[in-house]
Chains A and B, each alone.
Chain A
Amino acid sequence: MTSAGQLRHATIVQGMNRMPGLLKLGSFLALLFLPALAMAAGGAEIQAMSVEYRDVPGIGSRNLVWVVAQQHLLLAGFVLGVPIFAWICELVGWKTKEQRYDKLAKEFTKLLTSAYATTALFGGILLFLLIGLYPKLMAYLTDMFFPSFLVYCLLFLLETATLYMYWYGWDYMQGNKKTFHLFLGFLLNLFALGIMIVPNSWATFQASPVVVGEGDAWARAWMAMKNPTWWPVNIHRLIANVVLGGFIVGAYAGVRYLLAVSREEREHYDWMGYVGNFIGVFGMLPLPFAGYWLMREVYQYNQQMGITLMGGFLAWLFILQAMLIGVLFLGANYYFWLGITHRIPGSEGQYKKPVMGMLIVLLLCLGVWMTPHSLVASLAEAQKMGGTHHPLLGVFGVMSAKMTVSNIMILVTFMSFIMYWRAGKQETAGWAKAAKAIMGALLVIAGIAVVVLGVWGYFVPAIIRINYFSVAQVLIVLFIMVTFTPLTALLMKSAKTTTEMVWGKMPIRAGYSLVLNAVMVILLMSLMGYARSSSRVHWHIYGVMRDTSEYAYSPALGYAAAFMSLNTFVFCLIVAFIFWVATLGDKAKAQPPKGSPVDIPSHTAPAMAGGAPSSGEKLE
């Protein structure tokens, strides 16, 4: 080890002496288990003295790291999102006593063991590539963050041990032990959250570094971790992982629904697709708010970075983002509407007009959201318009309009869900009429308020709009969601079912719409990853360490989109492989005889939508 390495090691040991006992034990264990990483980091430092970069012939170092990092991140999102999905399902099954939710949770937890291994594999490849191809940068980050590496590895050990207990103890921990199993599921997600937020600090430090003052290694690492965009990214990624987990489950169910040969299979995967879509939409609704907070923090940290993102060379990226989010909103709503018309017989005519109205509103909003600030125009066209701003469409190209329509799209999607929830039921509570009237009035007032604030936003300074008007719009929409959900749940609790819900009758296009939603989410994650990385422009660490390699430029959107598409396709294949491997054992099991009772009652409404849980199969 070099003298600098010895000095740092001594500093770490000194830092450990000042730590609480448990943390010290954990760090010591992590140190024991991590000789390879420590040596690799030390090696990077030695190499950094002579080599700043290495290249890979043909594909190029940057492109190779791009593909591997993207696969690792998407897989990580998957393995962090699925446990949240599984735990929520298990919790719902435990609360409602419906066995099918417990089975669903178990089915997806089974995937985690192979998915974890694949994620770790790509993580390991990424680490080796980074150490080999970017030794100077890695030496700097290792010097800054080494104590957090230990915490990261400790969390991995805890996560793995918890996953083993959670998965292998599933059948054992039923009945009285179920609460402990749920607690294990909670711990699993808690450690997973830690595994996500620790490396987030490394990546966000690259985008929004802070000057690190004096202190021991632990204090310095903590100072660097607490950078301005750390928590906005943590929250944004946490919600995004829920969305990814939900929609991938939905896509899996969609594919299995398309492949299904028996009625039982169709019913099962139709229901699974519903649950996946529900959780995906549930996460998607607050996601734009988290994204807004992140952008606010970026602007607060460095206005130039914000301008690069929103108004600089990445401005057109946000038009693509609007398109993808718009298709996702349309896809999720379309699936809800298909559910209303195919699962609840006789409701086609009843909901035709509201569905058409919602579709028109969504398309209009999408049109506004996708309107660019500056149009691509020929010289003659620009002279006619008096610039690149269209006299009419230019009004829609600004943030005030986009914030307004995104809030309206969230409101419409939320109302789609409420409509689906209430379909085929008749409220019996005495106060139902008054409650529905109040909800209707609140919805109208909220819609008008969001539009008024949006229009008013044109006439006030940007800072007033950003700090007050946009925040007010978000709070109004959140208020509607927070008040309508429990109110509808109360209404539906005593409602009588007028039309039974029928599973397994969805058309083929429903399966494709679930696949489309998942592809949109994966593309969105890839696109925004490119945006986050490109916002640093020619810096490895913004304003601190300049990228002096031949790949210091940020590629244009078209080239980047080709990579995103490639990454998305490869990720889909990897996930399909994981699902295939995980279900190999099931295929070997004997098929149940025809006509045997299925575990999914075809007439029940899902408990997640406040249906009649009492009619489901009871847990022992």
Chain B
Amino acid sequence: MSKQLETMTPELRAFIEEWKAKPGNLIMVLHRVQQTYGYIPREIAIETSQILDVPLAKIYGVITFYNFFRLQKAGKYNIQVCLGTACYLRGGDDIIKEFERQLGVGLNATSADGMFSVEAVRCLGCCGLAPVAVVNGEVHGKLSSKDVDSIIKQYRERG
């Protein structure tokens, strides 16, 4: 699959320039990069390293240390299944397995059609609704394995 190269948007460039002089800016800048592209594209990381005058190795050191930063683009619908303790106790594990089974993808991977990716996340903080999954910001609570099918269908229909 050939990948289209991303180019730095003017807004992002302005943001980086604004933060350039502030100490400890790297993580804030990387957040902005990910907010812009949904992940941290290599070509943008290289450009960022040049603007900030920070070694690329340091940038990758930081990206790979923190769970929040992604190196690959997520699916159009990113399914985040909570594995906080409350969700785990109420069967969050089974929900993940069911999503993986039905979509035929592993954890932190994107389905072949680019539609879905499945992620396990730590505590989304809606423990009263456990177990919980969040799809592009929409919360689905009190799930059982049986609900997985209809959730996937719902998003497929939206296209």
Task: Answer whether A and B are interacting partners.
Answer: no
B residues at A contact (CB < 8 Å): none
A residues at B contact (CB < 8 Å): none
